[in-house]
Amino acid sequence: MTIALVGSGEYLPPMEAVDRDLIRRLGKPARVVCLPTAAGKEGAGRIAYWSQLGVEHFTRLGVEVSTLPVTDLHSANDPQHALVIEQANFVYLSGGNPAYLYSSLAGTLAWEAILSVLADGGILAGCSAGAMVMGGKIIGFPVSKPAFNLLPGAVVIPHYDEFPRWMLSLLRWLAGKHSRFVGIEANTALVSDGEHCEVLGSGGVTYWDTNAKQRFVHGHRFAWSHVEYH
Domains and CATH numbers, the chain: 2-223 (3.40.50.880)
- Lowest-pLDDT range of 65-79, 116-130, 176-190: 176-190
Residue 216 phi/psi, 5-degree rounding, is -115, 145
At residue 229, does pLDDT exceed 60?
A: no
Average pLDDT, the chain: 95
Q: Does the reported pTM lie above 0.85?
A: yes
Alpha-carbon distances, residue 150 vs 87, 126, 133, 154 (angstroms): 21, 12, 8, 9
For residue 228, name the pLDDT band (cuts at 50, 70, 90).
very low
CB atoms within 10 A of CB 112: 15
